[in-house]
Structure 1
């Protein structure tokens, strides 16, 4: 069985989504189907078709989230002891050597990745270039615009 790495926060977000899907979305869809059925002929009932389609989406997402949680390997970055190396869950302060611009990224699971909030997927090119490196090292990242170099300023486990 393939384990899916998740941070503690990422696992909580998935659990909250699953709870919402089961307690809010599923009952809403059931009510919409019942309402559409009450209109009679189902063969030409667009409301019924839309509600059934929505039901398929909700049930599919429930199954997907349950599967991810069942195979999750939950990692708490605060409990890591990686001797200052970049690992899954680490928060890394970087400086772009070309522009001298500083950025902060946390390496997270694919489902948690959100570049706007500074969370990058462990499978992204930049995360792959950072894994195993320590503060003071330079990581070369193959970006669409060519190779970019980042100096690792600090590695934190928070």
Structure 2
């Protein structure tokens, strides 16, 4: 597996979620399994089977998070000289030339992305087309319905 780019904030959030699963959720499910076993016959014990399913789901989540953290490469954008190029971690203001509308995004890892907070994944169509671009560049983004033109107005490394 290759490195997974993350901001320090994203790394800490993922670590916090992992700790929550390990220290809170896992023990709770184990307790539920023990209680369900006490009810006797496991063949028709829906509480037991439900708890075992939850356990399997949580254990898989824990493995996923541990794997992501083990391959995480934390990028501190503030330590990268701002040469006016869009990079992972950049905060960019772009103008949708089709709608004449400005929008600001920050390019983050998949795990951190949240469109409501204007955090877009580095792997999203918009970000992947913007990476490497400079101020005043025109970038074309193809969508299933049309092609959208964006002009890069501002690039910040904050």
**What displacement does 1:76 show?**
1.4
> Residue by residue, what CA displacement relative to the aligned partner does 1:126-157 show, whole Å, maximum 9, x if unpaired?
11110111111111111222110111110011
Find the counterpart in structure 2 of residue 56 from structure 1: 56
- Is the 8 Å Cα contact of residues 90 and 157 (structure 2) preserved in structure 1? yes
- Is the 8 Å Cα contact of residues 112 and 121 (structure 2) preserved in structure 1? yes
2: distance between equivalents of 1:143 and 1:106?
20
2: distance between equivalents of 1:12 and 1:157?
20
> Residue by residue, what CA displacement relative to the aligned partner does 1:24-82 show, whole Å, maximum 9, x if unpaired?
10011011101101111111100000000000011110010000000011111222224
Find the counterpart in structure 1 of residue 84 from structure 2: 84
Gaps of 5+ in 2: none
2: distance between equivalents of 1:107 and 1:125?
11
Find the counterpart in structure 2 of residue 108 from structure 1: 108
Gaps of 5+ in 1: none
Find the counterpart in structure 2 of residue 47 from structure 1: 47
1: distance between equivalents of 2:121 and 2:8?
15
Find the counterpart in structure 1 of residue 99 from structure 2: 99
> Residue by residue, what CA displacement relative to the aligned partner does 1:92-132 show, whole Å, maximum 9, x if unpaired?
11111111111111111111111111111111111111011
1: distance between equivalents of 2:20 and 2:69?
15
TM-score (norm 1): 0.96
- Report the aligned-residue RMSD: 1.0
For the pair 1:11 / 2:11, whether they are aligned, the reply is yes
Instruction: Tell me how many residue pairs correspond in the alignment.
Output: 158
Question: Displaced runs of 4+ in structure 1, greater than 6 A?
Answer: none
Find the counterpart in structure 1 of residue 117 from structure 2: 117
Find the counterpart in structure 2 of residue 69 from structure 1: 69
SS of equivalent residue, structure 2 residue 111: coil
TM-score (norm 2): 0.96
